[in-house]
Structure 1
Amino acid sequence: MKVFCLGAAGKISRESVLDLVQHSSFEKITIGDYNLEEAKKVAEWLNDDRVDVVHIDVTKVDEAAEIMKGYDVVMDGTQITLNGKSTECIAKAGCHGVNLNGFGEENQWNDLFVEKGKTCVPGFGMTPGTTQMMAMHLANQLDEVDEVYVSHGSFRPIAFSKSITETTTYEYDPALESRVVFENGEFIQVPPFARPREVKLPEPYGMTTQYIIPHSETVTLAEALKDKNVKLIEVRGTWPKQNMNLVRGLYDYGILKNPEIEVNGKKVGLMTLIGDYLVESEEGKNTELFGYSLHIEVVGTKDGVKKRGIIYHTHPASDGSVEGWEGLRSYTRNVGIPLAIAAEILAKGEVEKKGIVIPEYAFKPEEIFEELEKREIYMHEEWTEL
Structure 2
Amino acid sequence: MAKWGEGDPRWIVEERADATNVNNWHWTERDATGWSSDKLKALVLGLTVENEEGSCEVTEVSKLEGEASINNRKGKLIFFYEWTLKATWTGKSKTGVLYKGEIEVPNLSDENGMEDLDISVSLNKDEPETPLTGLMRTKGADKIRQALGSYVGFLKTEFTQGMILPSANGMAKIQTSSQSKATHDRTTISSGNSAAPVNTGVKIPTCKFSLKEMFQTSPADLYRVFLHQEMVQAFTHAPAMVDGDKGGRFRLLDGNVIGEFTELVADEKIVMKWRYNNWPCEHYATITMSFMDRSSETELKVDYRGVPDNEEERTKEGWKRYYFQAIKQTFGYGAQLY
TM-score under structure 2 normalisation? 0.30
Larger RCO: Structure 1 or Structure 2 (Cα < 8 Å, ≥ 6 residues apart)? 1
Higher helix fraction (1 or 2): 1
